[in-house]
Amino acid sequence: MYKAKAYSAAGETAPVASTTITRRDPTDHDVQIEILFCGICHSDLHQVRNEWKNVMPTVYPCVPGHEIVGRVTSVGKAVTKFKPGDLAGVGCMVDSDRTCPECQAGLEQFCPNSTLTYNMPDKHLGGVTYGGYSDSIVVDERFVLHIPANLNLAGAAPLLCAGITTYSPMRHWGVTKGKKVGVVGLGGLGHMAVKIAHALGAHVVVFTTSPNKKDDARRLGADEIIVSRNADEMQKHAGSFDFILDSVSAEHDINAFINMLRRDGNITLVGAPDKPLPVSVFGLIFKRRSVSGSPIGGIPETQEMLDFCGAHNLTADVEVIPIQKVNEAYERLLKSDVKYRFSIDMASLRA
């Protein structure tokens, strides 16, 4: 075991603050990574503040962070995929049982025994896992990803959650050229969804509550932008979408978006507000529409997404911050005041 620097929250109303944590020494199959950048996902904020207490209560102290990019510093003797000096990424999962049908299908995100990167029982050290707001992490090589060398590292970190969480449902629901795709909410996930849907060749429409994001949305790859609070603008598109990805982090009316779908259209919710969202059944019945959810993505698909982003030179638009500004960043995230992802420069933690 060794000591690592980190930032943790001591309770649901406590700020995230400097601390020291214990990491395991790399076992035979482990990769030790010096963390260079870690994105700030809205899930970090939900969890630090225990907003998901009914589903997955937060255990304190909580070290968030699951959009991790860094450099390998050492590897266990059985490791074959990585060597010291390689770039490496870690997303929302660090382990699973590897034997269940989901794992065998490469869908570790559905494994009943998966271990999330933070706030989950740590099989090695006891207690809970600690995430990427830290100077290093030790992860089994099966859950470590290769980062394409051409990508900017600060912007690549958010691909490990925002990238895969939007890529996976779009692939599952057949987003391709010729499809009309909506993205609800232009935040960290939403802006990656726009970039990826555009790269997949779809006609992309952004639904935003922030009229001041219109120019950005177009630059990111949107063909049309709708201010969702404008009923007339919404009405023009009723019944016309093949697929909509909803990335909103707070309570909102999803029926307005269900009505945007054509026959057999699907809306997938990736945003995770803590309260239930009412669904009008008639909106589903009339056009055989469906509502789904989707969690992150499996390890093979995460690598596929990273390679896709490498080939298309796609990264998140990031505002790089020192870790000392993380609490301020959370307040700004709540106000949708970031273009479009905070990425923590972990050199600030080492300094």
Ligand X SMILES: NC(=O)c1ccc[n+]([C@@H]2O[C@H](COP(=O)([O-])OP(=O)(O)OC[C@H]3O[C@@H](n4cnc5c(N)ncnc54)[C@H](OP(=O)(O)O)[C@@H]3O)[C@@H](O)[C@H]2O)c1
Q: Is 235 helix (H, G, I), strand (E, B) or coil?
A: helix
β-pairing, 115-116 vs 136-140, is unpaired
Span 258-297, contacts to Zn ion by CB under 5 A: none
Rounded to 5°, the CA angle 253-13-157 comes to 70
Query: Least distance from C-beta 299 to ligand X, angstroms?
Result: 14
Task: Select 155 or 283, whichever has its Cβ closest to Zn ion.
Answer: 155
193 binds Zn ion per the rule CB under 5 A: no
Task: Select 167 or 308, whichever has its Cβ closest to ligand X.
Answer: 167
> Could you please report the per-residue DSSP string of 123-162?
TTTSSB---SSBSEEEEEGGG-BPPPTTS-HHHHGGGGTH
Task: Select 21 or 329, whichever has its Cβ closest to ligand X.
Answer: 329
Report what 100 binds from Zn ion, ligand X, none; CB cut-off 5-8 Å by kind. Zn ion
161 binds Zn ion per the rule CB under 5 A: yes
113, with CB counted inside 10 A (0-12, 13-18, 19+), is middle
- Residue identified by tokens 């979408």 is 241
- Residue identified by tokens 């980062």 is 147
Query: Least distance from C-beta 208 to ligand X, angstroms?
Result: 3
43 binds Zn ion per the rule CB under 5 A: yes
Contact 82, 88 (CB under 8 A): yes
103 binds Zn ion per the rule CB under 5 A: yes
Task: Select 41 or 75, whichever has its Cβ closest to ligand X.
Answer: 41
Among 8, 58, 96, 168, binds Zn ion (CB under 5 A): 96
Task: Select 74 or 255, whichever has its Cβ closest to ligand X.
Answer: 255
Question: Which positions lie near ligand X, rule CB under 6 A?
Answer: 41-43, 46, 161, 165, 185-190, 208-210, 213, 247-250, 252, 270-272, 294-296, 333, 336
Query: Least distance from C-beta 73 to ligand X, angstroms?
Result: 27
Q: Is 147 helix (H, G, I), strand (E, B) or coil?
A: coil
- In DSSP terms, which residues pair with 70 in a beta bridge? 35, 88
Q: How many CB atoms are located within 10 Å of the residue 230 CB? A: 11
Q: Is 198 helix (H, G, I), strand (E, B) or coil?
A: helix
- Residues at the interface with Zn ion (CB under 5 A): 41, 43, 96-97, 100, 103, 111, 161
